Amino acid sequence: MLRTFGVALLAIVVSVGLAQARGHRQVTPRCAEGQQATATCFCGVAIGGQPVLCPKGQWCHGSWLRACTP
């Protein structure tokens, strides 16, 4: 009986830990159009569906080019 309780408790702890890990997502802020990025930001979605991220110091051209330039 003690073994069953221990296995059940372990299963609950593991499932709660996985649920909490899935809930934490870091959101990347959207780039300001026509301004230099102060941190990594989301510029838009490329033609292939991949997100375009601009690193700090680059310029986002999201409305027509969907690219970052130094």
Q: Where are the domains of the chain?
A: 2-69
Whether the pLDDT of residue 23 is over 80: the answer is: no
pLDDT above 90 (res 41):
yes
pLDDT at 14 over 60: no
For the full predicted model, state whether its pTM sits above 0.85.
no
Residue 58 to residue 54: CA distance in whole angstroms: 6
- Does the pLDDT at position 40 exceed 80? yes
Q: Which long-range contacts (CB under 8 A, 24 or more apart) does 42-45 make?
A: 43/67, 43/68
